[in-house]
Amino acid sequence: MRRLIKHVLQSESACEDLLVAGWIRTRRDSKAFSFIELNDGTCLGNLQIVADVGIPGSEDLQRMATGASVEVRGRLIPSPAAGQKWEMQATSVKLLGEAPEDYPLQKKGHSQEFLRSIAHLRPRTNLYGAVFRMRSRMAYAVHRFFQERDFIYVHTPIITASDCEGAGEMFRVTTLPDDKISKDTEDFFGKRAFLTVSGQLEGETFACALSNIYTFGPTFRAENSNTSRHAAEFWMIEPEVAFCDLAGDMDLAEALVKFLVTEALERSEGDLAIFEKFVDKGLRERLEFVASRPFERIPYTEAVELLKASGRKFDYPVEYGLNLQSEHERWLTEEHFKKPVTVYDYPKEIKPFYMRLNDDGKTVTAMDVLVPGIGEIVGGSQREERLDVLLSNFAHHGLNPEAYGWYADLRKYGSVPHAGFGMGFERMLMFATGVSNIRDVIPFARTPGNCEF
């Protein structure tokens, strides 16, 4: 049976009959044999294979170039070479698929821009292999975090008619032909439908029945901002907790960030070394720091005061009532506090309809977790549980109360204080890997003007 190279490299003992398969990273020839570095993507490491001229299949050795796929049988033996425990002495080699000379991933380093243009091949590089293995482990860790705490995983719909964030950044879903595109009532659902920007509203209904829930799935935003931190399709983790206030919400968000950072450190299976080598020298140190120290917490109003008193020239103005821009978030985390910062109690004017109004009548129980190098990684709030306040919010935000009747019902029947947040999964991955562009932690990124593959 074929064995994964990851397991072979971790072997406890030599082995007489080994079968492996993968893609050739490099091949070096001498008169009597060839050295092949084989990688199957299961781990960072390559298995070194010695293939003697004369073994079955060796007539194809010259065609076993970088990128070609091969299957190899042989013996696993202790390696005399430094830096590797095992090597394989081949008894037969089989060329499965050739890779002609124009294979784009020859040994030399490529720019991330170029690699994005060959997103179908880049997982075969060390860096992207590591990124996508990390993505898989982190997704599993998200489920572990919540399942171990008795949160129930809810699948909220991808097609929806409600704009949770009220920002009008939704992709429309329609089956109408071009010449009938505005005839909403003739459309598939009898009204306008969109790809969801957040599963929160549906998630709230389940929290108000099952107590502690989370969603983890794709969300979509037709935000025309071509930044290194925004994608049109990204994954969001959205827990929602009944009988919970803003403080409990912040505790949960900070615990999740710390848990995932600890996972990245403790279960990286060698991949962290690649991130440190290629993208961020101080990565491990920063992750250890974040895992071990409390986050700073400050109200929005104080954050604005700090920014104003900083003496720093920002591109965007700092004023009570304006959104914090990424440059402001980064100043707070990178220069002032030098650690993650949770900012809470934002002015109600700049936040969506569902956030709970504070007693001051001016601010809502919003909170954002900001981290160095990225800015906002989590956004959440305690939800407005008072029916009358919610109804006046609908009016204030120009929302049709009938369309949100089901949402208001949660306040009408057995309303409870509840709170939740959304963590951008890709932003978390950027933080855990040091990769600075969101396009490089998504297998096939969707951004304005870009829908290849």
- In the list ligand 4AD, Mg ion, none, the entry touching 230 (Cβ below 5 to 8 angstroms by class) is ligand 4AD
260 binds, among Mg ion, ligand 4AD, none (CB under 5 to 8 A by kind): none
Please identify the residue of the shown chain whose CB is closest to the bound Mg ion: 379
Q: How far is the CB of 296 from ligand 4AD (least distance, A)?
A: 17
CB 406 within 8 A of CB 208: no
Q: Where are the beta strands (DSSP E) in 253-374?
A: 296-299, 341-347, 363-371
By the criterion CB under 6 A, which residues form the site for ligand 4AD?
164-165, 198, 200, 221, 223, 230-231, 234, 236, 238, 376-381, 420-424, 426-427, 438
Rounded-to-integer distance, Cα 197 and Cα 327, Å: 24
State in angstroms the smallest separation of the CB of 200 from ligand 4AD: 4
Nearer to ligand 4AD, 64 or 364 (CB): 364
d(CA 22, CA 2): 10
- Binding span for Mg ion by CB under 5 A among 66-74, 134-142, 376-384, 424-432: 376-384
Among Mg ion, ligand 4AD, none, partner that 377 touches (CB below 5 to 8 angstroms by kind) = ligand 4AD
Cβ distance to ligand 4AD smaller for residue 372 or 380: 380
> Using an 8 Å Cβ cutoff, are 367 and 246 in contact?
yes
Q: Which amino acid is at 148?
A: E
Three-state secondary-structure class, residue 260: helix
* 329 binds, options Mg ion, ligand 4AD, none, Cβ within 5 to 8 A by partner type: none
Q: Which helix (H) or strand (E) holds 429?
A: helix 425-433
Residue corresponding to tokens 């879903």: 173
Going from the C-alpha of 409 to that of each of 210, 351, 402, the distances in angstroms are 16, 22, 11
CA distances from 97 to 39, 71, 100, 102 (A): 15, 10, 10, 14
Task: In angstroms, give the least distance from the CB of 350 to ligand 4AD.
Answer: 12
Show the tokens assigned to 365.
């129980």
- Judged by beta carbon, residue 272 or residue 441, the one nearer ligand 4AD is 441
Helix (H) or strand (E) holding 90: strand 86-97
Shortest separation between residue 193's beta carbon and Mg ion, angstroms: 24
Q: Select the binding partner of residue 25 from Mg ion, ligand 4AD, none (C-beta < 5 to 8 A, by kind).
A: none
Pairing mode, strands 33-39 and 15-29: antiparallel
- 219: closest CA among 162, 158, 165? 158
| Interface stretch with Mg ion, choices 131-139, 155-163, 177-185, 372-380 (CB under 5 A) | 372-380
Tell me the closest approach of the beta carbon of residue 67 to ligand 4AD, in angstroms.
32
379 contacts Mg ion (rule: CB under 5 A): yes
Starting at the earlier edge strand, list the strands of the sheet with 172-173.
159-160, 193-195, 172-173
CB of 216 to ligand 4AD, least distance (A): 12
Note whether 66 and 36 are within 8 A (CB).
no
Q: How far is the CB of 319 from ligand 4AD (least distance, A)?
A: 21
CB of 6 to ligand 4AD, least distance (A): 30
421 binds, among ligand 4AD, Mg ion, none (CB under 5 to 8 A by kind): ligand 4AD
- Nearer residue to Mg ion within complex by CB, 187 or 249: 249
Residue 258 to residues 7, 350, 365, Cα–Cα distance (Å): 29, 28, 22
CB closer to ligand 4AD out of 74 and 239: 239
Rounded Cα gap, residues 273 and 271, in angstroms: 5
Contact 339, 350 (CB under 8 A): no
198 binds, among Mg ion, ligand 4AD, none (CB under 5 to 8 A by kind): ligand 4AD
**Under a CB-based contact definition with an 8 Å cutoff, are residues 138 and 263 in contact?**
yes
| Comparison of 86 and 214: residue with beta carbon closer to ligand 4AD | 214
Q: What are phi and psi of 182, to 5 degrees?
A: -95, 0
Nearest-approach distance from CB 201 to ligand 4AD, in angstroms:
8
The label of the residue with tokens 């949160």 reads 151
- Nearer residue to Mg ion within complex by CB, 147 or 224: 224
Q: Which is nearer to ligand 4AD, 70 or 438 (CB)?
A: 438
Classify each residue of 125-147 as buried b or exposed e, where b means 16 or more C-beta atoms within 10 Å of its C-beta: bbbbbbbbbbbebbeebbeebbe
Q: CB under 5 to 8 A by kind: which of Mg ion, ligand 4AD, none does 22 bind? A: none
CB closer to ligand 4AD out of 41 and 248: 248
Name which of 173 and 197 has its Cβ closer to Mg ion.
197
Stretch of 274-282, 294-302, 373-381, 386-394 contacting Mg ion, by CB under 5 A: 373-381
Of 67 and 417, which has the nearer Cβ to ligand 4AD?
417
Residue (of 31, 25, 46, 36) closest to 92 by Cα position:
36
**Where does this chain bind Mg ion (CB under 5 A)?**
379
